[in-house]
Amino acid sequence: MKNSQVRKNGADLAADTMPVYDLETRVTQEHHHSLKLWLRMLSCTVLIENQIRGRLRSEFGVTLPRFDLMAQLERHPEGLRMGELSKRMMVTGGNVTGITDQLEQEKLVVRVADAKDRRAYSVKLTAAGRRAFKRMAAVHEEWVADVFSGLQADQKNSLFELLSKVKSHVNDVHVTEE
């Protein structure tokens, strides 16, 4: 096959760009089908995440973790404790503290004493933070819709249901093994 061509679904196609090299390129025919599926899912996730990261940085000058923290706070106007943010974002407490410090310096979030435990505090979006997140979230949603625009509605529904089964099974196995 020439360098200007790539294989897609068994057919040679002319391409102006080089083939994509990602986590899935290490798969061979001999690998277990489940491994191939795992690497396909991981490759898709990484490709989409990288695209969203780049767009957030170029359009809004914000990182994906900062966007994610603001998204969690937008869903909880009463605020969230740092430990809860860490669990929801699936990152360490140190990461949440660093992101919160940055957002607090920019007056997008504020730390407030927890009414139930004065030793702890919650983080809330400020009015400026809510406005900034609202702008970013609307554009972000368009980007995500664009990423999945190549699928028909029934295909999206099927993929969602299948991934729900995978998620449920993984959670069940994880709970059983603990």
CATH of the domain at 67: 1.10.10.10
Query: Is the residue at 143 inside a domain?
Result: no
103 found inside a domain:
yes
Give yes or no: residues 89 and 132 share one domain. Answer: yes
Task: Flag whether 55 is in a domain.
Answer: no
112 is a domain residue = yes
> Is 48 a residue whose pLDDT tops 60?
yes
Q: Where are any strands of DSSP class E within 119-164?
A: 121-125
pLDDT band at 97 (very low <50, low <70, confident <90, very high): very high
Comparing CA positions, the residue from 78, 80, 68 lying closest to residue 136 is 68
Three-class DSSP category at 123: strand
* Whether 29 and 87 share a structural domain: no
Q: Assess contact for 109 and 80: CB atoms under 8 A.
A: no
pLDDT of residue 17: 60
Considering the domain architecture, whether residues 77 and 119 belong to the same structural domain is answered as yes
CA 44 – CA 24 distance, rounded (Å): 9
Query: What's the CA gap between 134 and 132, in Å, rounded?
Result: 5
Q: CB–CB of 112/124 below 8 Å?
A: yes
C-alpha dist (Å) from residue 87 to 45, 69, 110, 158: 20, 11, 19, 28
Residues 56, 136 contacting (CB under 8 angstroms): yes
- Residue 49's pLDDT band (cuts 50, 70, 90): very high
pTM of the model: 0.76
Domain around 24:
1-48
Q: Does residue 25 fall inside a structural domain?
A: yes
Q: What angle in degrees, to the nearest 10, is found between the helix axes of 64-75 and 33-60?
A: 90
Q: How far apart are the C-alpha atoms of 21 and 18, rounded to whole Å?
A: 9
Question: Residue 30 gets which letter from DSSP?
Answer: T
Whether 72 and 130 map to the same domain: the answer is yes
pLDDT, tens digit (0-9, with 9 covering 90-100), for 122-176: 999 999 999 999 999 999 999 999 999 999 999 999 999 999 999 999 888 866 5
CB 93 within 8 A of CB 63: no
Cα→Cα distances 63→17, 74, 109, 124, 174, Å: 28, 16, 15, 18, 30
Please tell me whether residues 67 and 134 are part of one structural domain. yes
Within this chain, do residues 39 and 90 fall inside the same structural domain, yes or no? no
Structural domains of the chain, count: 3
